[in-house]
Chains A and B, each alone.
Chain A
Amino acid sequence: MSQDNRRLHWAKTSRLTYWVLAIWVAFAFVIPWFAKDLDAGSFLGFPLGYYMIVQGSLIVFVLLIVGQNLLQDRIDEECGLSDE
Chain B
Amino acid sequence: MSEQSQGTRFVDRLGKVYGIYTLGFLGFFALMAIVEQLGAGAQLIGILFLLFTIAIYATIGWLSRTMQVDAYYVAGREVPSFYNGMATAADWMSGASFVALAGGIYFGGYPYLGFVVGWTGGYVLVNALMAPYLRKFGCYTVPDFIGTRYGGNLARFCAVVILVVASFTYVTAQINATGTIAARALAIPFEVGVWFGLLGILLCSMLGGMRGVTWTQVAQYIVLIIAYLVPVIWMSNAQGFGIIPHFTYGDAALRIQELEAEYGLVAAAEAVAGLKVLTTAHFDPQGGLDSWKFVTLAFCMMAGTASLPHILMRYFTTPSVRQARKSVGWSLFFIFLLYFTAPALATLTKLQLLDPNLATAVVGKAIDDVANLEWVQNWTAVGMLSVVDQNGDGLVQLNEFFMRPDIVVLATPEIAGLPYVISGLVAAGGMAAAMSTADGLLLAIANALSHDLYYKIIDPKADTRRRLVVARVLLVVIGALAALIASLQLTGILGAVAWAFCFACSGLFFPLVLGIWWKRANRAGAIAGMIAGFVAGTVYLVHVYNGGDQLWAIDHLRFGMIGMPVSLVAMVVVSLITEAPDAEMQAMVDETRVPTGKSILAETH
List the interface of chain A (C-beta within 8 A of B).
1, 6, 9-10, 13, 17, 20-21, 24, 27-29, 32-37, 39, 42, 44-47, 49-51, 53-55, 57-59, 61-62, 64-66, 68-69, 72-73, 76, 81-84
List the interface of chain B (C-beta within 8 A of A).
110, 113-114, 116-118, 120-121, 123-125, 127-129, 132, 246-251, 253-254, 283, 285-287, 290-291, 294-295, 298-299, 302, 320-323, 325-326, 328-329, 332-333, 336, 339-340, 343-344, 590, 593-597
**Do the beta carbons of A33 and B250 come within 8 Å of each other?**
no
Starting from the known contacts A17-B128, A66-B329, 20 additional A-B residue pairs (CB-CB under 8 Å) come to A1-B597, A6-B593, A9-B594, A21-B124, A24-B128, A28-B124, A32-B113, A32-B294, A32-B295, A34-B291, A35-B294, A36-B285, A44-B248, A46-B250, A53-B110, A55-B340, A57-B120, A62-B333, A62-B336, A64-B124
**Do the beta carbons of A24 and B287 come within 8 Å of each other?**
no
Say yes or no: A57-B121 contact (C-beta < 8 A), given A36-B286, A65-B329, A84-B320: yes
Which residues on B sit within 8 Å (CB–CB) of A50?
250, 253, 283
CB distance from B250 to the nearest CB of A (A): 3
**Do the beta carbons of B590 and A6 come within 8 Å of each other?**
yes
Closest to A46 in B: B250
**Do the beta carbons of A69 and B325 come within 8 Å of each other?**
yes
Say yes or no: A33-B594 contact (C-beta < 8 A), given A45-B248, A61-B123: no
What would 27 A/B residue contacts be, using CB atoms closer than 8 Å? A20-B124, A27-B121, A29-B298, A32-B117, A32-B291, A32-B298, A33-B295, A34-B291, A36-B285, A37-B287, A39-B285, A45-B254, A46-B249, A46-B253, A50-B283, A53-B116, A54-B113, A55-B246, A55-B340, A58-B336, A61-B120, A61-B121, A61-B332, A65-B124, A65-B332, A72-B132, A76-B322
Docked Cα-Cα span, A25 to B250, in Å, equals 26
**Do the beta carbons of A57 and B286 come within 8 Å of each other?**
no
**Do the beta carbons of A17 and B129 come within 8 Å of each other?**
yes
Which residues on B sit within 8 Å (CB–CB) of A55?
246, 340, 343
Among B253, B287, B596, point to the contact of A36 (Cβ < 8 A): B287
Which residues on A sit within 8 Å (CB–CB) of B251?
45
Main secondary structure on chain B at its contact with chain A?
Answer: helix
CB distance from B147 to the nearest CB of A (A): 24
**Do the beta carbons of A33 and B294 come within 8 Å of each other?**
yes
Docked Cα-Cα span, A68 to B298, in Å, equals 22
**Do the beta carbons of B332 and A62 come within 8 Å of each other?**
yes
Docked Cα-Cα span, A34 to B110, in Å, equals 12
Say yes or no: A28-B246 contact (C-beta < 8 A), given A33-B295, A50-B283, A54-B343: no
**Do the beta carbons of A44 and B247 come within 8 Å of each other?**
yes
Which residues on A sit within 8 Å (CB–CB) of B287?
34, 36-37
Say yes or no: A83-B322 contact (C-beta < 8 A), given A57-B121, A58-B116: yes
**Do the beta carbons of B320 and A54 come within 8 Å of each other?**
no
Docked Cα-Cα span, A53 to B346, in Å, equals 14
Name, among A6, A57, A61, the residue most crowded by chain B CB atoms within 10 Å (CB to CB): A61
**Do the beta carbons of B594 and A54 come within 8 Å of each other?**
no
Docked Cα-Cα span, A53 to B42, in Å, equals 36
Among A36, A66, A83, point to the contact of B320 (Cβ < 8 A): A83
Closest to A81 in B: B596
Docked Cα-Cα span, A27 to B320, in Å, equals 30
Closest to B326 in A: A69
* Chain A to chain B: the 6 pairs with minimum beta-carbon distance, closest first: A46-B250, A45-B250, A54-B343, A35-B285, A28-B121, A83-B595
Say yes or no: A68-B128 contact (C-beta < 8 A), given A1-B596, A49-B285, A61-B121: yes
Docked Cα-Cα span, A50 to B343, in Å, equals 10
Among A24, A66, A82, point to the contact of B595 (Cβ < 8 A): A82
**Do the beta carbons of B250 and A29 come within 8 Å of each other?**
no
CB distance from A52 to the nearest CB of B (A): 9
Which residues on A sit within 8 Å (CB–CB) of B248?
44-45
Docked Cα-Cα span, A13 to B516, in Å, equals 13
Name, among A1, A49, A59, A62, the residue most crowded by chain B CB atoms within 10 Å (CB to CB): A62
Which residues on A sit within 8 Å (CB–CB) of B291?
32-36
Docked Cα-Cα span, A68 to B396, in Å, equals 52
Closest to A14 in B: B517
CB distance from A70 to the nearest CB of B (A): 10
Closest to B302 in A: A28
Name, among A6, A28, A54, A65, the residue most crowded by chain B CB atoms within 10 Å (CB to CB): A54
Say yes or no: A58-B120 contact (C-beta < 8 A), given A69-B325, A83-B322: yes
Name, among B113, B299, B323, B595, the residue most crowded by chain A CB atoms within 10 Å (CB to CB): B595
CB distance from B226 to the nearest CB of A (A): 20
Closest to A33 in B: B291
**Do the beta carbons of A76 and B128 come within 8 Å of each other?**
no
Which residues on B sit within 8 Å (CB–CB) of A64?
124
Among A9, A10, A49, A69, point to the contact of B127 (Cβ < 8 A): A69
CB distance from A18 to the nearest CB of B (A): 9
CB distance from B179 to the nearest CB of A (A): 30
Closest to A73 in B: B322
Among B247, B299, B343, point to the contact of A29 (Cβ < 8 A): B299
Which residues on A sit within 8 Å (CB–CB) of B254?
45, 47
Closest to B325 in A: A69
Docked Cα-Cα span, A20 to B128, in Å, equals 7
